[in-house]
Amino acid sequence: MSKFSLRGLVAAVALASASVAAHADIAINTALNFDSVADGTSANSYLASLGLGGVMSFGNGDVVDDVDAFGDLTGTHHWVDASATYGDVLVSSSAAAVSGGNVLSNGFAPILLQFAAPVDLALFSVQLDNNTWSNFANVLQFLDASGHAISGTDVSFGALNQPGYTVAATGPVYGVSSVLLSFGSRNFDNLQVTTMAAVPEPESWVLMASSMAVLGAFVRRRQNQR
């Protein structure tokens, strides 16, 4: 085998390894029910107590109009974390809690559940509290790194007076930087967040395994010739 071929083989191994790494995802599989959290606690302090502070955070969501290169409004918008202005999202006691006595609360203002890096969600669900005050324009949105809704992933919930209703993604959602909890008039309970496992595409494993096997055979042959 020539030096050129060996270099090509090493490059193939490196390429396969890079492909494997490129499909890595933050591993999260957690249920947040707030039942054991004291009234008035910062929701981010709760995440930190679970060891999730480095991968997830709650933000006080605010909407910002998009502008073009000339500063003119485009008619679209994106979401930002405005906690520095409006304060932390809290865990609060509530007679309308689905389980226990506490809910995730933000004074009925939008809440952002943010990830440290974009994730592929295998499962996301949240329960509305048992409050019967609602809104016709209820929607669960998944946002990209720029704070824009990811096309085709909205979960609409326009019906009124369904306390305790579970709202869930209808399937996997890819490239999610944050989830917007904005039902206009409710607090939230019992969040379930599960990301896809860091599993590479099968062909990447095959390429890397076969390349490593050939490289190993080449090394053994060279050793036997010495």
Residues 170 and 212 in one domain: no
Expressed as residue numbers, the domain containing 141 is 26-199
Residue 162: what pLDDT? 78
Residues 46 and 143 in one domain: yes
Rounded to whole angstroms, the Cα distance separating 51 from 45 reads 10
Task: Provide the number of structural domains found in the chain.
Answer: 2
Residues 90 and 158 in one domain: yes
Residue 139: what pLDDT? 84
Residues 119-141 have pLDDT tens digits of 999 999 999 999 887 666 688 99
Sign for the pseudo-dihedral over CA of 104, 109, 115, 119: positive
* Bridge partners, 176 (sequence order): 119
Residues 94 and 40 in one domain: yes
Q: How many CA atoms lie within 13 A of 21 on its CB side?
A: 6
Residues 40 and 146 in one domain: yes
Taking phi first (over 0 means left), then psi (-120 to 50 degrees means alpha), and beta for anything else, what does residue 175 get?
Answer: left
Rounded to whole angstroms, the Cα distance separating 81 from 147 reads 9
Residue 24: what pLDDT? 52
Residues 180 and 204 in one domain: no
Rounded to whole angstroms, the Cα distance separating 12 from 65 reads 46
Residues 110 and 127 in one domain: yes
Residue 4: what pLDDT? 44
Residues 153 and 204 in one domain: no
Residues 71 and 118 in one domain: yes
Q: pLDDT below 70 — which residues of the chain? A: 1-24, 134-137, 159-160, 184-185, 197-226
Q: What is the pTM of this model?
A: 0.77
Residues 50-87 have pLDDT tens digits of 999 999 999 999 999 999 999 999 999 999 999 999 99
Residue 216: what pLDDT? 54
Residues 4 and 81 in one domain: no
Residues 116 and 33 in one domain: yes
The enclosing domain of 135 has a CATH number of: 2.60.120
CA distances, 34 to each of 54, 148, 190 (Å):
19, 28, 7
Asked if 108 and 184 touch (Cβ cutoff 8 Å), the reply is yes
Residue 73: φ, ψ to 5°: -65, 140
Residues 211 and 188 in one domain: no
Residue 190: what pLDDT? 96
